[in-house]
Amino acid sequence: MAGSYTRVATQAIRAGFFVICGIISTGAFVDDAIAEPRKVIELFTSQGCSSCPPADRLAEQLVKEDDSVLTLLMPVDYWDYLGWKDTLASPVHSQRQRAYAQRRGDRSVYTPQMVINGEEHVVGSRENHVRAALDRASPLSTNVSLKISDMAVEAQVGGALPKGAKMATVYFLRVQDEATVEIGRGENAGREIKYVNVVRDLVPMGMWSGGDETFRMAKSKLNLSGDARCIILVQVEDNDGPGRIIGAAAMDWKKGF
């Protein structure tokens, strides 16, 4: 699974996402709209999971209370057989969660699961455990900035890789600010659930080996809507799959244009 995860990332890069080193003028850039995050939470959740709504509410609370913590929802599709197909889920999220578990060696895949900085996992509905894990997590160490012009998305990454790491993947994420879903069947039938910061696209921009480097991607390749939030993640990665997240940046698309 982890090997296939890395191959998918490599294929996506070759399919049309281009890395350009140095600074090339592509037009007037908008200013960053959100402070650089210091920690990252990924919530693996599902509309078909009766245990998930409390975690979804906690994610919303975390988004509102602390800009320095970037909380992202990664809806998974492996509970769809229970009678309700998750309207926000992606197999990419399910694959990412499994790759995390394989890398950790515990093969622990469940919902609701929060993964902190790509490493420690906790039950996403247990607020005390989530906050304790956040306290234990080290702040992100890599400098990242995100800019968008009329032609391109630009990520500037600077710093050094953690000791022992050889490469990190620079990811671009398109995130939907909010989504409210009426669940028609399954374990949450009849409920209306609000989701925030839902990841809709996760694509690699390139590989970073340390130092100052600029990564660009043609804006025409993105399906950006008026309510989208744009995220950059820098994540240590090798043949074992995704590991520690070491850098992040975020901005609101709707505030830029």
* Count of domains forming the chain: 1
The tokens for 121 are: 């996992």
Range of the domain at 81: 2-256
Task: Check pLDDT > 50 for residue 8.
Answer: no
35 confidence band (pLDDT: 50, 70, 90): low
pLDDT for 110: 98
pLDDT for 218: 86
Contacts of residue 21, defined as CB under 8 A and 6 or more positions apart, other chains included, come to 213, 214
Residues 24-52 have a mean pLDDT of: 73
Ranking 20-29, 39-48, 93-102 by mean pLDDT, the lowest is 20-29
pTM for this one?
Answer: 0.84
Q: How far is CA 112 from CA 16, 24, 96, in A?
A: 34, 43, 14
Q: How far is CA 96 from CA 20, 52, 107, 135, in A?
A: 26, 18, 12, 24
User: How many Å apart are CA 70 and CA 175, to the nearest integer?
Assistant: 12
Positive/negative CA dihedral, 233, 237, 241, 245: negative
DSSP 102: H
pLDDT digits (tens, 9 = 90+) for 76-106: 999 999 999 999 999 999 999 999 999 999 9
Residues 204-220 have a mean pLDDT of: 92
